[in-house]
């Protein structure tokens, strides 16, 4: 299980050798069963852009400049679903990262 400051991850996520670390401002979780979560709370997919904008509007200018959306996808979620979340971040001019777990050698 991985733990971020905003959510706990207790399901399989993709593996990677990447070591890039970025502070998470907000997190979107994509589950195989079609469930979406925003900062650990269930949300309808259609509500994510509005919720992202709402949370960003609460940030100071400095915090907004450092804002990062962490995308946590259960292993097996389609890249199309992940890409949609990356686009939401891009439209709001913030960074997006995809949470992974270390690859077992």
pLDDT of residue 69: 95
Position 101 pLDDT exceeds 80: no
Q: What is the pLDDT of residues 25-75, one digit of tens each?
A: 899 999 999 999 999 999 999 999 999 999 999 999 999 999 999 999 888
CB atoms within 10 A of CB 11: 14
Round to whole Å and give the CA distance between 3 and 60.
25
pLDDT of residue 98: 85
Give the gyration radius of the chain's Cα atoms.
13
Name the pTM for this structure.
0.78
Please give the residue that has the higher pLDDT: either 13 or 93.
Answer: 93
* Joined tokens for residue 52: 């992202």
- Shortest CA distance to 67 belongs to which of 50, 52, 84, 48? 52
């Amino acid at each position: 299980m991985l733990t971020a400051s905003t959510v706990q991850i207790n399901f399989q996520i993709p593996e990677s050798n990447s070591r890039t670390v970025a502070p998470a401002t907000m997190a979107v979780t994509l589950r195989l069963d079609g469930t979406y979560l925003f900062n650990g709370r269930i949300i309808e997919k259609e509500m994510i852009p509005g919720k992202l904008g709402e949370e960003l509007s609460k940030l100071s200018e400095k915090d907004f400049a450092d804002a990062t959306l962490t995308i946590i996808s259960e292993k097996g979620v389609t890249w199309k679903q992940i890409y949609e979340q990356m686009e939401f971040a891009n439209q709001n001019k913030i960074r997006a990262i995809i949470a992974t777990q270390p690859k077992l050698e």
